[in-house]
Amino acid sequence: MIRLEGVSKSFAPDREVFKEINLHVKKGEWVWFLGATGIGKSVLMKIVYGALPPSQGKIFVLNEDVSSLNETALSRLRRRMGIVFQDIRLLDDRPVMENIVLILEALGTSGREAHERAERWLEKVGMIDHSSRCPYELSIGQQQKVAMARALAKEPELLLLDEPFSSLDEKEEREVLKLLGKINHEGTTILAASHVHEVLHFLPGRVLQLTAGGIE
């Protein structure tokens, strides 16, 4: 599903983020990258979804060599992924429902189906009552849940979560984890990055520690 072969990333000769990361994530697996802020978790996630090229090494996602893909092939690959970004990236001037429907329609889903799916996933993350509100009217935690609904509404094979719980309270965290556990159980591979160690207590999946040297 995901294979990293000797992946290194540096932004300048003296600014190496990580080096020689080797990793194999199987289909249906749930893997956590844990590490301190600034250690490179988001950079690694961006490399996985092709937003950043690695400085060295090869990366295969869903059997595709990410760094060799052209625009069209990369868009096809990303279509199979659901991504929850660390900076959430909701459209502030569009209601929650439209934030999801727009993406689905742009991906080719019919308007009716897009609405049905958006409603279903907003219901599952507990945000259906806020569907007509704009993101700026919501708390950061609520925005994170909308972003999660948006990623899940794509019904992806691979779900990438970058700091998904950073603004959720403990109760919300448990609810979301329960939902993700169910999705993972149904076959969706999950790759998540977090600096919150507490979540480990009730997390299923493989936990990897990202350090300055690489993965431990």
Partner 1 sequence: MNTGFVLKEGSKLFFRGRRISFAAAAIFAVVLSIIGVFALGTFYLLSFKNEIESRLEVVAFLSPDADSEELIGEFSTLEGIVSGSAVSSQEALEEFRRDLGEDAELLDILDENPLPPSIRLKLTPEYRSRAQLDALEEKLLLFEGVEEVWVDRNLLDSLNKFLYILLGADAFVLLLVGLSAVLVTMLATRFAILDRRRIIDLYWLMGVHPSTLRAPYVIEGLFEGLFGSIVAYGIVFALHLILYSLVGSMGFPAWKLAAVLLGLGLLFGWLGSGLAIDAFKLKRT
Verify binding: residue 68, partner 1, rule CB under 8 A: no
Verify binding: residue 72, partner 1, rule CB under 8 A: yes
Indicate the SS3 state at residue 91. coil
Verify binding: residue 197, partner 1, rule CB under 8 A: no
Exactly one of 24, 26, 76, 120 binds partner 1 (CB under 8 A); which one?
A: 76
Smallest gap from residue 201 Cβ to partner 1 (A) = 31
CA distance 79 to 94: 22
Looking only at the bridges linking them, the beta strands covering 206-209 and 30-34 are parallel
The DSSP element (H or E) to which 170 belongs, if any, is helix 170-185
3-state secondary structure string across 1-41: CEEEEEEEEECCCCCEEEEEEEEEECCCCEEEEECCCCCCH
Smallest gap from residue 207 Cβ to partner 1 (A) = 26
Which lies closer to partner 1 via its Cβ, residue 108 or residue 187? 108
Looking only at the bridges linking them, the beta strands covering 64-65 and 81-84 are unpaired
Longest dimension (CA), the chain: 52
For residues 208 and 22, is the Cβ–Cβ distance under 8 A? no
Exactly one of 15, 106, 136, 187 binds partner 1 (CB under 8 A); which one?
A: 106
Exactly one of 14, 37, 108, 187 binds partner 1 (CB under 8 A); which one?
A: 108
Verify binding: residue 85, partner 1, rule CB under 8 A: yes
Q: Which stretch binds partner 1 (CB under 8 A): 1-9, 46-54, 172-180, 203-211?
A: 46-54
Verify binding: residue 26, partner 1, rule CB under 8 A: no
Exactly one of 77, 146, 152, 190 binds partner 1 (CB under 8 A); which one?
A: 77
CA distance 168 to 198: 12
Q: Which residues bind partner 1 (CB under 8 A)?
A: 49-53, 71-72, 75-81, 83, 85, 89, 91, 103, 105-108, 154
